[in-house]
């Protein structure tokens, strides 16, 4: 699948799931996001008050709203116009001063002047991008010289071609079987969203990369990894939401804290 075909496939898939996704995000059923992904990524960003932030792959604006709530001036971009429509509707209903644009993340350097942003973020969207190197090139242009990039992606151990939980007779998860870690490349991700009385299964293209491959992408674009974080729930969170137990035992998500080479 070429770059243009990939872009269309990703756009079509997220446009199709936009309505169900918008109804699902932030609900009680969305506990990985509300308990682990969102708080973990926001903590990794540090103090954002007064900073100008660009959120890539913002979807319906979930993480952009967390950033704005913490005092940042936020712009969100997403390739799906339907997702952006939901983000703008939510902004109109509860204004936080966020601007949203339907854009290809690989072309953001054409939309704003160089050195516009203090911080550029992405919340579990980079693994859907066919050319993250080109995106990072654009990011480097728009980032201020001492700015940071903080990205959360699916953990590499959670995206292997073979991934299956071994369960006991009651269905309780015993151990996760993973294999073929180095078999990277495009794959189809299946996700079932439960929103109220509605349950729908969607399929969308994604790209499995090893930690080494991510490191190479960032290095070639001129970035250094300042820190890696594997966010996970606390014991108290698992007690309150037992379904979080699996991602307290196996890393499901990975955060890259990146700085431009030579910025220190």
Within 8 A by CB and 6+ apart from 154, the residues are 124, 127, 206, 252, 253, 254
Closest listed residue to residue 58, CA positions, set 119, 113, 4, 101: 101
Determine what percent of the chain is predicted with pLDDT higher than 90.
76
Q: Tell me the angle at which helices 81-93 and 3-24 cross, rounded to the nearest 10 degrees.
A: 30
pLDDT, the chain, mean = 93
pLDDT tens-digit map of 187-219 = 888 888 876 667 788 888 888 999 999 999 999
pTM, two decimals, is: 0.94
Instruction: Write the pLDDT tens digit of every residue in 1-25.
Output: 556 787 888 888 889 899 999 999 9
Both tokens assigned to 27? 């609900």
Extended beta strands in the chain, E state: 52-56, 73-78, 99-102, 117-123, 143-154, 162-167, 173-179, 185-195, 198-208, 223-229, 253-260
State pLDDT tens for residues 241-256. Answer: 999 999 999 999 999 9
The rounded distance, in Å, linking the Cα atoms of 93 and 174 is 44
Tens-digit pLDDT profile for residues 65-110 = 999 999 999 999 999 999 999 999 999 999 999 999 999 999 999 9
Architecture of the structural domain at 3-260? 3-Layer(aba) Sandwich (3.40)
């Amino acid at each position: 699948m070429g770059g243009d075909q990939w872009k269309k496939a990703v756009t079509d898939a997220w446009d199709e799931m936009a309505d169900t996704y918008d109804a699902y995000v932030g609900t009680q059923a969305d506990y990985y996001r509300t308990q682990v992904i969102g708080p973990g990524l926001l903590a990794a960003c540090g103090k954002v008050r007064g900073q100008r932030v660009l959120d890539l792959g913002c979807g319906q604006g979930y993480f952009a709203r967390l950033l704005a709530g913490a005092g940042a001036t936020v712009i969100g971009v997403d390739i799906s116009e339907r997702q952006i429509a939901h983000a703008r509707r939510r902004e109109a209903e509860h204004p936080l001063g966020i601007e949203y644009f339907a854009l290809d993340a690989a072309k953001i350097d054409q939309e704003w002047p160089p050195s516009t942003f203090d911080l550029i973020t992405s919340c579990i969207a980079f693994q859907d991008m066919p050319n993250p190197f080109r995106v990072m090139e654009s990011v480097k242009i728009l980032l201020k010289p001492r700015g940071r990039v903080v990205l959360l992606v699916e953990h590499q151990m959670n995206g292997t071609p073979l991934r299956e939980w071994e369960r006991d007779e009651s269905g309780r998860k015993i151990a996760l079987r993973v294999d073929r870690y180095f078999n990277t490349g495009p794959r189809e991700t299946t996700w079932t969203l439960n929103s109220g009385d509605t349950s729908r299964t969607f399929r969308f293209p994604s790209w499995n990369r090893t930690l080494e491959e991510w490191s190479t992408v960032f290095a070639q674009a001129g970035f250094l990894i300042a820190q890696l974080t594997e966010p996970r729930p606390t014991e108290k969170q698992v007690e309150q939401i037992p379904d979080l137990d699996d991602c307290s035992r196996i890393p499901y998500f990975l955060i890259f804290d990146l700085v431009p080479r030579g910025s220190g």
